[in-house]
Amino acid sequence: MRTGDIVRNPWVSTDMITAYFIFLKSGKRYAQTLQLTDQGTLEMVLYLASDLKPTAERQFKVVGHTQIFKTFEKELIDIAKQEEKVNE
């Protein structure tokens, strides 16, 4: 999986918003993800990295990809450039 992948959690019914999350990164033990709660707020959710591997009993499946992190990066760079001009 790569940053920005939208992943389907096979342990949750597809009619629930919590069945999907955005993969952020994986460490040796945990994978960090962003998920919408039932209340419609974003929260960081950790999964065992081993659970996301294809050998798991039920496979987590990549169903899409978001470019939101590229958008965040561009906006941060644009703001930094604007600030730089103001401070000249």
**Mean pLDDT confidence for 11-25:** 90
59-86 pLDDT tens trace: 899 999 999 888 989 999 999 998 888 8
DSSP β-bridge partners for residue 20: 8
**Pairing status of strand 5-8 against strand 61-65:** antiparallel
Whether 56 shows a pLDDT value over 70: the answer reads no
Burial of 23 (0-12, 13-18, 19+ CB in 10 A): buried
Whether 53 shows a pLDDT value over 90: the answer reads no
Please give the helix or strand (H or E) that residue 25 lies within, else none: strand 20-26
User: pTM score, two decimals?
Assistant: 0.79
